[in-house]
Amino acid sequence: MIRYFLYLMVMNMVVNVTAFVPRIIIDERFEGSVMAVIIGIPLTVLLLYFFTNAMLRFPGKGLPEILFQHTSKWFNRPSLILLSILFFFSGWILLLAFTDITRTFINPEMTRFTILTIFLLVVGFGVLLKTEKVLYALEILTLISLPFILVIFFKAYTSPYLNWDSIRVVFTHVNELPTLSSLGSVTFSLYGFYNISIYNRVFKGEIKKINIWWTMAIIILGYVNAFTSGFIPIGFNGTSGVEDFIYPWISTSDSLRMEYGFVERIIYITLLLFIGASLIMVITIWHVGLKLLLSLFAPSKETRLKTRILSRSIVTLLIIVTYITGTRIDARQLLELTKLYYIILIPISIFFTIIVSWIAWGKKHET
Partner 1 sequence: MKHKVLFLFIGFFLILTGCNGYKDIDKRFFVVEMGLDHATQKDNKYAVTLKLAIASADTETMGSESYIVIKEGKTISEAVKKLKANVDKELDFGHTKVIIIGEEIAKEGLIDVMDWFDRRRDIQQISYIGIGKPNAQKIIDVKPKFERIPGNFLFLIFGNTGTESPSITLQYLFDLRRRLTENGLDPIIPVVEPSQESFAVDHASIFYNGKLALELSEEETVLYNALEREYPKVQLQIENEEEIFNISSKVLNAKYKIDTTNGSSPSIDFEIEIEGSIEETTEQIKEDNLPKYEKLARESVKERIEKLLTKFQEERVDPFGFGLRYRATNIGDEEEKWQKWLSLYPEVTFKVNVKVKLFGTGVIQ
Q: Which residues bind partner 1 (CB under 8 A)?
A: 30, 104-105, 107-111, 114, 117-118, 121, 125, 160-161, 163, 165-166, 168-169, 171-172, 175, 236-241, 244, 251, 254-257, 259, 264-265, 267
Buried-state track 135-158, b at ≥16 Cβ within 10 A, e below 16: bebbeebbeebbebbeebbebbee
Report in angstroms how near the CB of residue 266 gets to partner 1 at its nearest: 9
| Closest CB to partner 1 among residues 117, 325 | 117
> Least CB distance from residue 241 to partner 1, whole Å?
4
* Residues 6 or more apart whose Cβ sits within 8 Å of residue 140: none
CA 276 to chain centre: 14
Nearest approach, Cβ of residue 97 and partner 1 (Å) = 16
Phi, psi torsion values for 265, nearest 5 degrees = -85, 115
Q: Between 251 and 295, whose beta carbon lies closer to partner 1?
A: 251
By beta-carbon proximity to partner 1, the closer residue of 158 and 367 is: 158
Q: What minimum distance in Å lies between the beta carbon of 311 and partner 1? A: 15
Give strand pairing partners of 257: 265
Expressed in angstroms, the distance from the first to the final Cα of the chain is 26
Nearer to partner 1, 81 or 140 (CB): 140
Q: How far is the CB of 252 from partner 1 (least distance, A)?
A: 8
Q: What is the DSSP string of 39-67?
A: HHHHHHHHHHHHHHHHHHTSTT--HHHHH
- For 48, phi and psi rounded to 5 degrees? -55, -45
For 13, the 3-state DSSP assignment is helix
For 214-271, give the DSSP string.
Answer: HHHHHHHHHHHHHHHHHHHHHHHH-TTGGGG-SSHHHHHHTT-B-TTSSSSBHHHHHH
CB nearer partner 1, residue 103 or residue 291: 103
Q: How far is the CB of 119 from partner 1 (least distance, A)?
A: 11
Min separation Cβ 30 and partner 1, Å:
7
* Shortest CB 338 distance to partner 1, Å: 22
33, 207, 222, 227, 350 from 178: Cα distances, Å: 6, 35, 17, 16, 18
Q: Phi/psi of residue 351, each to 5°?
A: -60, -50
Task: Please name which of 333, 321, 310, 345 lies closest in space to residue 194, comparing C-alpha atoms.
Answer: 345
> Which residues lie below 8 Å from residue 249, measured CB to CB, with a gap of 6+?
17, 18, 22, 229, 232, 233, 270
Nearer to partner 1, 111 or 211 (CB): 111
Residue closer to partner 1 by CB (options 75, 171) is 171
Q: Which is nearer to partner 1, 49 or 119 (CB)?
A: 119
